[in-house]
Structures are given as structure tokens and as C-alpha cells.
Structure 1
């Protein structure tokens, strides 16, 4: 785990579409859409919308084992696809599931072989992974894919009328690597200058880091036309990679799109009563049907889990949805 002084942020990019004829995903796959892949020993019905009661669509699956833990670990995010619901926190659900290492092998030794995945198309979101499945060429290819695809189009429904979204692999890159090449910096500068001209706000350049060149956080002291300095900071932070669909930094700080309110405070874990910590957030580039600014996910700090002899349910965690104050700027 990265220390608080040097938080490691991973950025998720939409990669190739999952072809059911060539690929079969498993709980180790990071993906957008499709049906959830539960690890061995976990049984979970599709959650329902807290507002309208319809079954929720599976939006994102992340494989995120923790360092020095004996468990495989997954997070699944679900959302209501109705226009009136997708921007509300009570219309989203996040479920955490775990299984002991070796449980997969024990169960599959008595059954069919495990599902096959496309090599290097899915990455582990854990602290000890050596290869994030993303070379420089891969970054650009994933970026191109995400910019031209409408990711969240409904493609089918199962017999229980659960909406199913088109499935895509998620590829991963460390955020720090996004500013390693001069052409990336030049692109970021152009984006920032365009944003400054459009909004009448000076947010500084990416080459100066968080404070835009050592003069303090100047963007915090300026006001865009919409009057939201928090949103200005959000735009600056993602300008190096506007196509990012997910940010992962367990124990780090979320990137707010607007000033957080009381409903963004994570309550204690409903399973063990312990404190929760921020783990990941979905970004506005993901939405093609769902409308939101960002979806913040907080999970049990101790990642509590009760193993049993039979199938058990996943643990519900906490998510908070912030609407986009200027939706048109992401179009």
C-alpha cells in the first residue's frame, strides 16, 4: 500500500470489447458491463434500484486483492439505467466479494475448467502487481477505443429482465506515467488553455504539478463562470487523460467534482461496524447512457469477510454519486 505521502493512483481506460465467442471473463477480469463474475462461494442476486425498484445493470467489475491478504477480492458496481435515477446515490449499489486463495482451485478441480481470458487485457488493482498490462502503445490504443465507443449501450436482458450493458476490458496505467512524455504534456497544455479561454479561469499548467508552478494552488483562488473552484480543480486533474473511466487509490483522497455534502460521508461498515475508506471512483467519460459527475466508492477499512461452508452473499459497501455541474463540458 502506498504511504499517505505518496499515494499511488491508478487510472482505468476502456479497452477492447469482450467478444463472447473468443473471450470468457472470470472474477479476475476488470471490465465494464456484461454480467458480474462472482468468485467461488459467493451467491448474489441482482440488486434493485432504491428509487424505482427495477433490477440494476452491472456497470463495472474490479479485481482488487489487498497486499498480504489471503483473499481474492472484487468490487462490483450496479446502477439503474433510467434517466431519472442514474444521477442519484440510492440508485447505485456497490458489492464487495471475497474468497480464500486456493478456494478457486479446490472448487474447479471437481468441475469444468475455469473460464479463459484474453491475455493482458485485464489487470490486477493491487499493490504488488508488477505488470499493469499497459505499455505506451497500449495506453494510446485504449484511449482511442474509449473515445470512439458508446460504452454503455444496452445489448440484452436475461430472463429476469436485468439490463445487460456491452462489455469491455479495462486497462490500467499509473497516473504518474501520463506525464512522462512531452507529447502528452503538450496535449494537456492545449486542453487546459482551451478550458481557460472557455471558462475565463486561470488554472495553471500541468508541468507545475498540483500548484501549477510553485505559486500555491492558484486555481483554488479563481472562479470559473459557473462559480465552482472544486470543479475547476477536477478538470485540471483529469486533463492529462480525459478518457479515464475509473480512478483507483485505496486509502487516498477522492477527486470531487463539486463541494461534498453530508451525504458523501461514508457510514461505518454494515457488516463489522468498522470505519470505511475511499477506494475508487467512476469518471464522467464512462457514461454514454448513465448521467453522473463522479461515483465515489468507500469500503470497509479492514475488508471484513466471513467464510463459510456454503455460498454466501456479497457485502454491500457505500457509494456516493455527485452530479455533473457542467455536463456539456464532457461532450
Structure 2
């Protein structure tokens, strides 16, 4: 079984500007910060190229659970600039998390008698225990059920369907949410909510996909060499090998996406990205602690379709990416010197954009 969780499209929001809370996972709309907006540096919400406001692309409630580390209040925000006059098309990802002291009392409603693994699966729909001896033993069927239960408990349904739009009244934020006035109508992406499911990617499917990819590449090689002389200019060999590698990477990407074509994002904290091109990019190190960053999630091509179909106040003409990969601090660091109000920390993480 795979340890990849897929974000699938749920119901559209009634209003693209409707407030929720930071426990909500959604696409577009306005960001629901757990701390007031003034606690987040304003330059982080502006395009560093053109100075315009960045638009929220995705908000993911992403707690983590380890034997040595538990972060129950953690959100990943992905922003992009879509100003028509901006040629840079900048992206930015923010990791916002709350540092809870060991002496701090447990939140109301927490059942201390429950086993840690069960409690975390129910309370933290995105969390994994990465300190287990064998990561392959994760039962995604149980995890899927836990995700459904967590979504139901943490959010009120906006429709009668299960796993739909979370409501801010279901689980209160520890501090006041950013207020929104009626005239706060800056450009935003169309907003819809997200439900999750496991990928169900078996080794047999992977084997078939690999065989098909190899066959396609071999056919391309044969077709290209039928009428060519035996001598090949050495200067073309390197580029040809790179092209084959790119084809192989893209075919693997496409085959995997085709299994769940509606997926808006993939989530696998500390896992491996699904690359669309051979150039993986360098996420660098955490700007706060200097530790390496690791993969956490990525946006997928279907998201382009949904946003282009429904967004009318943002320019998406120049969006030609195949996947947007998010890397975050592998230690989920929270230096005390960087804490904002009420123990919250805001850290800028890394994004790697792979284009067509």
C-alpha cells in the first residue's frame, strides 16, 4: 500500500470570501490564519516581484505526530501571484504552527485515556507516525476511516454529503480569526473544499505502468533510427539521453496521475515527490534552523482545470505548470526566538515548480 494521501475536489464554497478556520483544508478563497493577520509579516503576503497581493491557492491543515515530536496545530498555506502585469508569477509557501509547552494543559475534550496512535489518527487527519520501525505497516484503510471521522468531527457539513465543507463553528480556533469586512474583495481564486482518500497504488499497477513506459520509449527509439545512418554525432547523444530520461519521467508521472485524474494534490510527509520532469530542483535548507528540507506535498494538474473553469477575477493565462512541489523543514522546527503571539511561528518554506 502507498502512504500517499490524495486531496480530491469536494463542494464549492457558497462564497469565495466565506470565512472558515485553520482546521479547514481547501483550495482558493481567503486564508484562515490561526493568528491575526498583523502577526504575519505583510511582505510575506505580497509578490516580491510586482508588489501585488498574493492569492491563496491551497490551505492544508497538516499536523504531524511522531514519538519524539507532536505538532497538533500546523497549517501549510500555498500562495501565488496571478497579477496580469506580473511576469515573474511568484509562488510562496508558509508553514504556520503552534508550539505547545509540555506543561500546557490538554485541550478540552481530549481523552487522555485513549491510546496515542488512535488519538492522533482521529484528531490529526494528515498525521503519520514516522518513527515506526516499518513505515510500510501503515494501514491506510484504517487511516481513511479515521480521516473521515476527523473531518466529520472537526467540521459541519455544508451539504448532506459526507466529507464536505468544514464549518468554523464545529471546532473553535484557540484565538480570534482574522476578521473580514464586506468590502474585503481583493482578487481570490474560486474556493472549494477538499476531502481525502488514500491512493491505492499497488506494485502490480506500478509494474504494468513501467512496462508500458519502457515499451513506448523503445518504440520511439526504433522509429527514430529506421532511416538514420549508423554513425551518430556525439554532440547529439547527451541531449538524446536527456530526452529519453524526460520522457520516462513524464510517462511515469502521467500513468500515476491517470489512476486518480481528479486529484488536486498529493500529500506524503517525508515521502517522495512524483516528478513530472527529470529536473528535481533544489529545495535548500530551512532558513530558521539550517536543517534539510524534505518533501511534504504537491499540487497536481487537475487543479489548473478547476481553477480556470471557475475563476474570473484572477489571470491564469500564463499558468503552464505540471506540478508544484512543497518542501518543508524536516525537523518541523520552531525556534523560540521566532515565536509570534500565543506561541505561533510563521516560516517560509520552499516550492519547486515543474513546467511543461
Find the residue that maps to 2:250 and give its secondary structure.
Answer: helix
* Partner residue of 1:133 out of 148, 156, 174: 148
Stretches of structure 1 that go unaligned for 5 or more consecutive residues are 1-5, 107-121, 135-140, 143-156, 180-206, 326-331
Question: Partners of 2:76 and 2:271 in 1: how far apart?
Answer: 17
Sort the Cα spacing of 1:209 and 1:20 in 2 relative to 1 into closer, same or farther, 3 A.
same
| TM-score normalised by structure 2 residue count | 0.60
Shift of 1:92: 0.3
* Maintained 8 Å contact 2:324/2:352: yes
> Which residue pairs with 2:29 in the alignment?
34
Equivalenced residues, count: 252
> Which residue pairs with 1:210 in the alignment?
206
* Maintained 8 Å contact 2:74/2:97: yes
* Maintained 8 Å contact 1:76/1:95: yes
Question: Partners of 2:340 and 2:45 in 1: how far apart?
Answer: 24
Q: How does 1:146-185 map to 2 (within 5 A)?
A: 162-176=186-200
> Which residue pairs with 1:197 in the alignment?
none
> Which residue pairs with 1:318 in the alignment?
350
* Maintained 8 Å contact 2:55/2:188: yes
- Superposed CA deviations along residues 210-261 of structure 1, whole A, max 9, x for unmatched, are 1218869736844779962211111101111111110001111111111215
Question: Partners of 1:315 and 1:61 in 2: how far apart?
Answer: 15
Shift of 1:7: 5.0
* Partner residue of 1:250 out of 269, 281, 292: 269
> Which residue pairs with 2:5 in the alignment?
10
* Maintained 8 Å contact 2:19/2:30: no
* Maintained 8 Å contact 2:11/2:192: yes
- Pair 1:267 & 2:284 matched: yes
225-234 or 283-292, larger mean C-alpha shift? 225-234
Stretches of structure 2 that go unaligned for 5 or more consecutive residues are 109-122, 130-142, 150-160, 163-180, 224-242, 309-315
Question: Partners of 1:279 and 1:83 in 2: how far apart?
Answer: 30
- Pair 1:293 & 2:293 matched: no
> Which residue pairs with 2:298 in the alignment?
281
* Maintained 8 Å contact 2:63/2:124: no
| TM-score normalised by structure 1 residue count | 0.64
Find the residue that maps to 1:318 and give its secondary structure.
Answer: strand
* Maintained 8 Å contact 1:17/1:167: yes
* Partner residue of 1:51 out of 49, 52, 60: 49
- Superposed CA deviations along residues 62-88 of structure 1, whole A, max 9, x for unmatched, are 0010114144110000011246868x6
RMSD: 3.8
Shift of 1:52: 2.5
Find the residue that maps to 1:293 and give its secondary structure.
Answer: strand
Question: Partners of 1:103 and 1:285 in 2: how far apart?
Answer: 42
Select the structure of larger CA radius of gyration: 2
Question: Partners of 1:281 and 1:103 in 2: how far apart?
Answer: 35
